[in-house]
Copies of this chain bind each other. A is one copy, B any other.
């Protein structure tokens, strides 16, 4: 195996990973990031977020060549026309994606080659809350269930440890389980 191939594990360049971690240890001010999204209403339950710019490692990051557009919608039963996944489903995607990437990165750092990571997420909701029909149920999911199936070249115990470590480091898992302060301001014209 060549030196270059050896540094890539699970599709992650581990040499760059270690260099990034070392740099941030030495210069903690580089760890300040800001991610952003802009959103525009397109009619009914249809709206679209555009995601491109972000601040990272001491300046605006300009490496992202194109924006990502994400459409939202609601199914017919929630008065939409299925123009996109609904917002609560998008939150499940954010959680699945973050846990999965965390598993892959942790495995790469621990020299474990993965062959497959799949997950199924469920979110249970009493829609009386969000619809304002009853003040008792909360608006969001009462609970989220995540089922991972992980395969790789390591004993089951090691793979489970990797998932535990990924939970302990995942940005979205932290936000969804612990909450985040959100400040909303409004301009009208």
Partner of A77, one of B13, B56, B172: B56
Q: Which residues of B contact A49 (CB under 8 A)?
A: 92-93, 96-97
Distance in angstroms from A139 CB to nearest chain B CB is: 4
Identical copies of this chain, number: 2
Q: How large is the interface on A (under 10, 10 to 19, 20 to 34, 35 or more residues)?
A: 35 or more
Partner of A47, one of B34, B79, B117: B117
Inter-chain contact B169/A130, CB cutoff 8 Å: yes
Distance in angstroms from A28 CB to nearest chain B CB is: 6
The interface of chain A, by Cβ under 8 A from chain B, is 10-13, 16-17, 20-21, 24-25, 28, 31-41, 43-47, 49, 51, 54, 56-57, 61, 63-65, 68, 70, 72, 74-80, 82, 84-105, 114, 116-134, 137-151, 156, 159-160, 163, 167, 169-189
